[in-house]
Each structure stands twice: as structure tokens, then as C-alpha cells.
Chains A and B, each alone.
Chain A
């Protein structure tokens, strides 16, 4: 006989029901843990614990697959004391800042254009989002032949303008600029889609009243539109910053880090040290440095989101 069958209707509201509720709460906890545990365990084992393992590896002189002896912070010291280490950080910052400085204005600008009705808008929007679904690998490859002075249209046009065969990937500065352009190509749709969604959530009356008050188009943009989509733009900025800071595929596919290490971003360096040069311990140290950079960005992310949400509530 269980408490599940109350004898009188009144019993539903009294102690057996509460007991049942308590028992069922306990059962519910076990039940919920049973549901969530497999997913949690897999994520923990495959992506979270390896971070700790990377830290451990970074403290050892590990080469190839032989766990080496404990060397403390030696790997970190050799990374930061070598000019190439700091240069790699500098290049990563340049790549990130350059990408964001172009992607955000382009994305927001196109979103503003797409926010008004015109014929063919749906098709235009679809085509403009397309680069986002192209993988970084394919984006890198497609641009590699597009800028090639031998078989590509941009390489051909540039060579014609310059009067000599011009390979943008053969010069450290232009190679970096090209990587930035390719990254912008792949990421501006993200900024555009997010901005467009935010724009469409602005009530038409607000813009209407601004116009009635005599605001110019530029004033409307600066004083009404941009402040209202600010938090969305911040999210896009941070997501794309993380994306750029951890970039591996584009330089790997387009330049291999060259010429003369001009495009050797931190992520690519980790990959090359680990899997081309087999310096696992050293590569892990750089990976841990990158992880810390990511944690810092994430903290800023959370701060920004909180700070941005609170004024809205009040």
C-alpha cells in the first residue's frame, strides 16, 4: 500500500500528498542527474579535462609522444623570452583588431541597407549570408586561388594595376592584410545577421518620432539606432574576437604562417610546434597562454552582458 492512493479527497491536500511531494522531489533529483550526467561526463572528459592535461604537458619537456621530465615554467619562459613569442602575440592582436575593425562596420552597414524594403531583398540577403556557411578551410582555399597572380581574378587585376606580377601572399604585410580580408569575408555575415535582427526589433514609432522631431538620417542613426542595437553589437564583437584570436585554419591553408613568419598567428604556432615540430611541451605552453587570453575575453564578455542588461531592467 503506498501513499499514492489517498483514501479521501481531503487527503490530497494533507500530509500524504506532501510526503509524496518530498519523495518525488528526491526521485526527481536522481532522475534529473541521470538525464544530464551522460552529456556532462562526455563534455567534461573530452573538452574540459584536456585543458588541465594541456597545463600539465606544458610543465614537462615533452617531445613526440614521450612524456618528458618536469621543467616547471621553462616552456613559458622560452616562449616569452624569445622575440618570436611576443611577435606572435602582436600578429594575433593585429589580425584580430584588423578583422573586427572591418567586419563590424561592414556588417552593420549592410544590415542598415537590408533593413529597408526593396525588390530582391530576400535573394540579396541570402547571397550575402552565404560566406558564413563556408568553412574556414574552403574560404582559405577559394581565396588562395582568387588572389593567385597566375590563375585568379584579383591577382590578375592587382598585377595589371601594379605593372608587374603581384602575389599578395608573398609579402608579409600584404599576406596579413589578405588574411584579414578573407576573415572579414567569412565573418561579416554574422555581424550583419545579428545587427539586422536587432534592427528589426526596434519599433517603427521610435524612428518615426525622431524623424518628426526633425532628426537627420545621421542623427537618427547615431542617437537612436546604434544605442538601441548596442548590446547585440557587443555580443557580435566578442564572439568574433574569440573567433579571430583562436584562428588556425586560414593561415594554415593560405600561407602556412609565412612568408618570413608574417602570418604566424598564435593558434597556428601551437599547431605547428605540436604536430610539425613535435615540441608538445612547448606547444602546450602556448596553448595555455591562449587559454588564459580566452578566459580574460570571456570575463569581459560576462561583465559586458551584465552591465548592459541591468540599466534596461531599471
Chain B
């Protein structure tokens, strides 16, 4: 009996800690959505209201129809998809070579790819900016696609390498005996089996591009190129912060990633922990 009551005492403490953690995790997100649904006067009323007393979607409509924001969302979607295409096209082949072939210089290539992920973006952004201006690529999709792809490639090569290593070699060998060329054996036998790896890579790459900010801020200018993060940041400044609009823009940027995450949670967690437990 005593033991039982002690247990419930402990579980109350546990419950309280978890509730507190949930509050901490959710509060800023809740407040963003809360503020975005308030009218112009309620936003600045004091004390702040804990939920919108007269909910309105005017901020959302203003952002979606009265600004360049939709175009910037489109830019981010296109940049995300474009980066996925480039990164998968290059990464799949490189990962396959790394998984299935021994060749001179392989270890150096893999080491350089791995080490490149340790280069901080803030170190390379200045030369990248220089290069973009000199090549006339400043403020173009091209330069963003190149830089985004270069940052994401090593990770995708690693994911695909690990994936291919998990497939039995007999698969290609059988195809080769049947007279397939190496490339054909890869395309017709291995690649169709690789969609889980491809999907995981694509999800991670898309979320990364969707969230990226500093590279976009540095290398783009016009609403026809800049990603939505840069667009949202544009709501800051000018004439102070338009709280209603910027919270609506933030909520719009947040929702797809949050939904994505809820659906593909396992892939996210796998992506996070891969390497850490194998280490």
C-alpha cells in the first residue's frame, strides 16, 4: 500500500515535468498562431489576450494575397524540388560507387566529403557571394541550387551508401550474368529497390531547403528568387514589425514542415540518429 502511494507520488512529479516541458515546447508556436489570428487592434492591446477574442483571418489573407509572399513560397518549393533532383541524381551514383566499388582514392574522396559537412556555412558564404557576383549568378535560382546541393550532397551520399550496402550483391551479379552492363544493372535492379533511401533523403533535403535562411539572405534579392524565409524576415524592419503579418507568414512557413514531420516522424528520427548509434 505504501509502495503504491509512493509510486503515484513519483508519477505526479513525472507528469508535472512532462507537462512543463510540453508547455515550453509548444508555447512559442501557440503564441505565433494565436497572434496571427488577432485583428489589428487586438494584436497591440495590453495585456495580451491568451486566445483571439475575435478571431480573424485578415492577416493570413493579407499575407497570401497582398504581398509577394506566395511567390516566395513558390520559390522555396521549386528550390526544394530542384535541390532534391540534383542531390539525388548525383548522390545516388556516388553512394553506389562508395558502397560497391574499391578504387584508388576512394578513402580520400569519402573523407573529404565527410569533412566538408564540418565546414561552417558562415565561413564559405563570403567566397560564395563573391563567386556568385563574378559569375553573374547573384540572385538566381542557379546559385542557390548549386550551394544548397553542395551542402546536402555528402549526407545523401552517406544515406545511399548505407542503403546500398544493405542490399545483397547477388542482385547485380545475377543481372550482370544475364548480360546487363554495370550501369544498367544498377538502374534496373538496384535503384527500384532503393526508394526508401531516396524518400528519406528527399524529405530531409526538402525540409533543410525550406528552413534555410542565411544563404538565401546573402545570395538573393528579388521576390522572384528569394526563398520564403528571406521573405518573412523582410516583414521585420522597414517600419517596425507588422506583428499580424509576420506571425501569419511564420505560421504558414511552419505548418507544412510540422505536418511533414508528423507524417514522416520515423524517417526524421532515423535521420537524426543514423551515425550516432553506429558511431
* A residues lining the B interface (CB < 8 Å): 27-29, 31-33, 35-36, 38-40, 42-51, 53-54, 57, 65, 106, 109-110, 113, 118, 124, 126-139, 141-143, 145-146, 150-154, 156, 185, 189-190, 193-194, 197-198, 201, 231-232, 235-236, 242, 245-246, 248-249, 252-253, 267, 270-271, 274-275, 280, 283-284, 287-288, 290-291, 294-295, 298, 305, 308-309
Contact = CB atoms under 8 A, between A and B. Distances in A.
B93 A35 contact: yes
Given A35-B96, A42-B146, A193-B272, A110 B116 contact: no
B18 A194 contact: no
A54 B122 CA distance: 10
Interface stretch (B56-64, B66-74, B249-257): B249-257
Contacts of A35: 93-94, 96-97, 101
B193 interface: no
Contacts of B154: 43
Contacts of A134: 29, 211, 254, 257
Contact of B113 (A43, A132, A231, A235): A43
Contacts of B122: 246, 248, 267, 270-271, 287, 290
Contacts of A57: 126-127, 130
A36 B94 contact: yes
Contacts of B241: 145
Contact of A48 (B104, B119, B262): B119
19 contacts: A28-B182, A36-B98, A36-B109, A42-B149, A133-B257, A134-B254, A135-B212, A135-B213, A138-B232, A146-B31, A150-B46, A152-B48, A185-B25, A197-B273, A236-B276, A242-B118, A246-B121, A287-B122, A309-B279
B126 A39 contact: no
B277 A201 contact: yes
Given A128-B25, A143-B28, A153-B31, A197 B126 contact: no
A283 B116 contact: no
A56 to B, nearest CB: 9
**Residue picked from B21, B26, B27, most chain A C-beta under 10 Å:** B21
Shortest 3 CB-CB contacts between residues of A and residues of B: A135-B211, A46-B150, A50-B127
Contacts of B214: 248-249, 252, 271
A113 B15 CA distance: 9
**Residue picked from A47, A54, A280, most chain B C-beta under 10 Å:** A47
B32 interface: yes
Contact of A42 (B98, B150, B275, B276): B150
A154 B17 CA distance: 19
B43 interface: yes
Given A137-B232, A141-B232, 14 more contacts: A29-B104, A31-B97, A36-B93, A40-B109, A42-B153, A48-B119, A54-B127, A57-B127, A110-B18, A113-B14, A129-B269, A130-B29, A141-B250, A291-B119
Interface string B105-139: 11001001101101111111111111101000000
Contacts of B35: 145, 151
A172 B94 CA distance: 48
Contacts of B153: 39, 42-43
Given A143-B28, A146-B28, A267-B122, A253 B101 contact: no
B97 A36 contact: yes
A293 to B, nearest CB: 9
B272 A194 contact: yes
Contacts of B116: 43, 47-48
Given A124-B18, A193-B269, A305-B279, A142 B120 contact: no
A138 B94 contact: no
A46 B145 CA distance: 11
**Residue picked from B31, B100, B133, most chain A C-beta under 10 Å:** B31
A197 B279 CA distance: 13
Nearest to B98: A36
B82 interface: no
Given A46-B147, A151-B43, A294-B120, A280 B90 contact: no
Contacts of B182: 27-28, 31
A50 B131 contact: yes
B119 to A, nearest CB: 6
B276 A197 contact: yes
A271 B213 CA distance: 13
A257 to B, nearest CB: 14
B96 to A, nearest CB: 6
